[in-house]
Copies of this chain bind each other. A is one copy, B any other.
Amino acid sequence: MQPIEWRDGALRFVDQTLLPGKVHYVETRDPDDVAAAIRSLALRGAPLIGIAAAYALALAHRQGRDLRPVADALAATRPTAVNLRWALDRVLAAADHESEAVRIHDEQIAADERMGELGAALIPDHATVLTHCNAGALATGGIGSALGVIKTAHRQARAVRVLVDETRPLLQGARLTAWELAAEGIPYEIIVDSAAAGLIACGSVQAVIVGADRIAANGDAANKVGTYALALAARAHEVPLYVVAPWSTVDAATPTGSGITIEDRAEPEVLYVAGTRVAPEGATARNPAFDVTPAALVTAIVTERGVLRPPYGPAIASLSSEPAVAR
């Protein structure tokens, strides 16, 4: 399964809203289709939407369109992940737009492998790790960030087991992470999100591993809503919390998490589950898609440039000037 592929000037991707029931590939040459797919979460995951947006600009270039307004429309699809703007800026600035999009994708695949190695070294043998949402192949186009760490530990025969937060409202854990783990033969159990704290308290979890959608200059990390509650529970019971994300997720221009825009999504995602209305008629909902975990609760940030430890401000500043690896 390739979540995203560039083929003969067209973009082919899996519609993630239909997983795990159906593996449906969409093929398009229209950048507007890509924008719509990002908005609907058919394409999702901070690194993957960056890659998809980069390819969308390549499609727009092939159509002979003015790239600037297309890039602005793509950037507006989702406000929290910084990878989106980062990838668009790279493609806009490149002499060869198409090659740059392919390069962004290739770099992510290499970054995932490197994060996998660095992160797996942090996981004890026979550990049960808990993860939230989907930070896997479906989120990055490589082996995944947080899930890449778990897959690498598994490939090293380290006997890792996984507790998967189902991740309401859109159930990326139950639908996508479970599906990826099953494909790898990694043992896992699904839990409702709110069961995590009690299981951490009972000693059932040796590490919490999550991805990120944006990391501020001080190490505060925005990730799928629910991550902050996990971080509080992990800290209360001295369980390490690892944030695994490519360097493109680091937003050195945003000093702290309070500067990160949190996307509010539509109410029906909460009021309906799997197409069935669960709330009474007339009910309203609040639906923040992300929350911010303060750097003080993060044990380490795993990037392809290295494993960052607190204090994150200096660690991020010192690595920010490094050239990208794996070019």
- Residues of A at under 8 Å CB distance from B? 20, 163, 165-169, 171, 174-175, 178-179, 182, 188-199, 201, 225-226, 228-229, 232-233, 236, 262, 270-271, 273-276, 278-280, 282-288, 290-292
Residues of B with C-beta under 8 A to A278: 166, 171, 174-175, 274
Q: Do B190 and A285 have beta carbons less than 8 Å apart?
A: yes
Interface of A is mostly: mixed
Residues of B with C-beta under 8 A to A175: 278-280
Residues of B with C-beta under 8 A to A174: 270-271, 278-279, 283
Query: How far apart sit A195 and B289, CA to CA, in the bound complex (Å)?
Result: 8
Decide: A198 near B168, CB < 8 A? Known: A191-B270, A282-B182: no
Least Cβ distance of A221 to chain B in Å? 13
Q: Do B225 and A195 have beta carbons less than 8 Å apart?
A: yes
Q: Do B198 and A286 have beta carbons less than 8 Å apart?
A: no
Query: How far apart sit A293 and B284, CA to CA, in the bound complex (Å)?
Result: 29
Q: Do A198 and B276 have beta carbons less than 8 Å apart?
A: no
The answer, among B167, B199, B275, B283, for a CB contact under 8 Å with A276, is B275
Q: Do B168 and A192 have beta carbons less than 8 Å apart?
A: yes
Q: Do B166 and A229 have beta carbons less than 8 Å apart?
A: no
